[in-house]
Amino acid sequence: MDDRKATGLKVWTPLIFSLVLIAGMTLGFNLRDTLRNKRDIQTIIERNDRLEQIIDLVNERYVDSVNSNNLYRDAVNGILSHLDPHTIYIPADELQGVNEDLEGSFYGIGVEFAVMRDTILVTSVIPSGPAEKAGIHTGDKIVKVGDSIVAGKDLPSDHVVRMLKGKQNTNVIVGLKDIETGGMKTVTIRRDAIPVYSVDANLMLDEVTGYIKISRFSANTYDEFAKAVKSLKASGMQQLIIDVRLNPGGYLESARDIVDDLLPGEKMVVYTKGRNSSLREYKTRDKDLFERGKVAILIDERSASASEILAGAVQDWDRGIIVGRRSYGKGLVQEQYDMDDGAALRLTIAKYYTPSGRSIQRPYAKGRDAYEEDFSHRYETGELVGIDTVMHDDTVKFYTANKRVVYGGGGIKPDVYVPYDTARLTPGVANLLYSEDVRNVVWDYFMKHRQQLRQYKNIKEYIAGFRADALVDDFIARQDPSFRKAVVKVMRLNNNYAFFSQQLKAQMGRVLFKDNGYYAVQTLTDDVVIRARESLKDPRYSTLISR
């Protein structure tokens, strides 16, 4: 019996040894991969420890006192400087403000104000907001916030904002000088959610042409856009101009939803892909707010990201025309990662591509400084001021739905090019327009003549009946005698007086009718808007989208 056991063991020994060998090899390979991953993670930890160690040593041993937070921020920014220009680190003290613009709301009292001559003036009150409910009016002067006197202190605007904002449903006591009675009043205001609007204006330019100005693509942008389109359609809109000039972008989904209202059926709006990010397609979902009217998208050199997604989809599907100047050229997608200390990292994880397959991201291999100097380069080459010859970094041809040729690698090139109007906005006029005197003249006139200004029941009456000559005369009279002659000389050149007075009229329009009042005046002489309206006429429009 013992011999049988010994014989059986001899028979099975080679097989058992082989199995153990195979298991050992497998375990070894797995252990090697596991240890290799652990070494990689440990390397990251050690590198992070070295950074922390350096900062700690500086704090403990350096000859002068330093701010360790600044050291850490500069170190992180140094790392990111080797990546693309849109990967950024946002410190904790800045993150809230950055997020509020995109989220579309914050908690406050619902007023807009301006600090003029050391006085905080309420320039606008949000309808149905906490301030309006508390009895605050446009023109009231804020004298006290809580226990702090703010009048006559020349406080920065952001400091006043921090005093007025706070947690939802908390109270703030504000002391004001009433515009109507001239007396003092104290009101208790309960903070609540205050919308940050991204659709600045929506108005009818004529009997059939609607105009919508979008300043950013936030979480609420589509809802604002849809509301504006419905209102304009009820007023007779048959063709639509969407203005995304100076719009830096925002949420991709908001741009996709707007395109969805313009394109019929299920179509590609944009797709994204990256080295570590799988292909993701964004398609329309057959919404139908404005699928059949003529469309023009206005862009310029500051239209970026989501603005370019909107323009690119409309152009690639030949749904409308693009009017203005070549867009910024940002075709990168960022994802936000929150840090333990409240800061955040917005890391580029993918590139996006328009429906035709083009990436409109302009090159950044020469560094961030060269990338940011692109605007100056466009001016120097004459592209901004009248030379419609754009050198494409991407020479590969792409084709729209109607087989028109388009290019990538450097923004969206418009179908109708409109140069920057240097003749109108000369350095002399620009210096005058952006002076503090302009704001003071407009506001002082409103305060003095508000009863007469209230005769204008709507924007149309205001445009037809108000002349800004008195505002211009007041502006000139306020200038120092040694400078006044130069101002008068500037006003006599070309059409400077007409343009300057129109700008003051637009500013007054904003005081009376908010942003709609401002843009209603501005669009009357805006070259890009004028060219868009001309291009929407038949047969020019059909020719542009089918050539």
The pLDDT tens digits for 158-212 are: 888 889 999 999 999 999 999 888 899 999 999 999 888 999 999 999 999 999 9
- Break the chain into its structural domains and give their ranges: 105-195, 199-420, 427-532
Average pLDDT, stretch 59-84? 88
Report residue 533 as tokens. Answer: 């309206």
User: Are the C-beta atoms of residues 3 and 11 closer than 8 Å to each other?
Assistant: no
The yes or no reply on domain 199-420 and CATH 3.90.226.10 is: yes
The model's confidence at residue 512, banded by pLDDT at 50, 70 and 90, is very high
Longest CA–CA span in the chain (Å) reads 127
Query: 3-state DSSP call for residue 14?
Result: helix
Indicate the fold that domain 105-195 takes in CATH: Pdz3 Domain (2.30.42)
Does pLDDT of 72 surpass 50? Answer: yes
- Cα 535 to Cα 410: distance, rounded to the nearest angstrom: 24
Does pLDDT of 29 surpass 80? Answer: no
Q: What is the structure's pLDDT at 9? A: 41
User: Are the C-beta atoms of residues 322 and 311 closer than 8 Å to each other?
Assistant: yes
Residue closest to 256 by CA, chosen among 354, 337, 402, 361:
354
Report residue 242 as tokens. Answer: 């969407």
Does pLDDT of 513 surpass 80? Answer: yes
User: Are the C-beta atoms of residues 261 and 313 closer than 8 Å to each other?
Assistant: no
Q: What is the structure's pLDDT at 26? A: 42
The model's confidence at residue 395, banded by pLDDT at 50, 70 and 90, is low
Does pLDDT of 353 surpass 90? Answer: yes
Does pLDDT of 44 surpass 80? Answer: no
More confident residue, 377 or 104: 377
Angle between helices 481-492 and 469-478 (to 10 degrees): 140
Stretch among 51-65, 317-331, 417-431, 451-465 having the lowest mean pLDDT: 417-431
Q: What is the structure's pLDDT at 333? A: 92
Average pLDDT, stretch 335-339? 88
Does pLDDT of 47 surpass 80? Answer: no
Mind giving me the DSSP string for 28-44? HHHHHHHHHHHHHHHHH
- Cα 448 to Cα 453: distance, rounded to the nearest angstrom: 10
Q: What is the structure's pLDDT at 93? A: 84
Residues in CB range of 513: below 8 A, 6 or more apart: 458, 459, 462, 520
Query: 3-state DSSP call for residue 296?
Result: strand
Q: What is the structure's pLDDT at 41? A: 43
pLDDT tens digits along 205-237? 999 999 999 999 999 999 999 999 999 999 999
Percent of the chain with pLDDT over 70: 89
* pTM, full prediction: 0.85
Q: Give residue 233's identity as a one-letter amino acid code.
A: K
Q: Give residue 541's identity as a one-letter amino acid code.
A: Y
- Cα 2 to Cα 224: distance, rounded to the nearest angstrom: 91
Q: What is the structure's pLDDT at 22? A: 43
CA distances to 212, 404, 442, 477 from 102, in Å: 19, 35, 31, 42
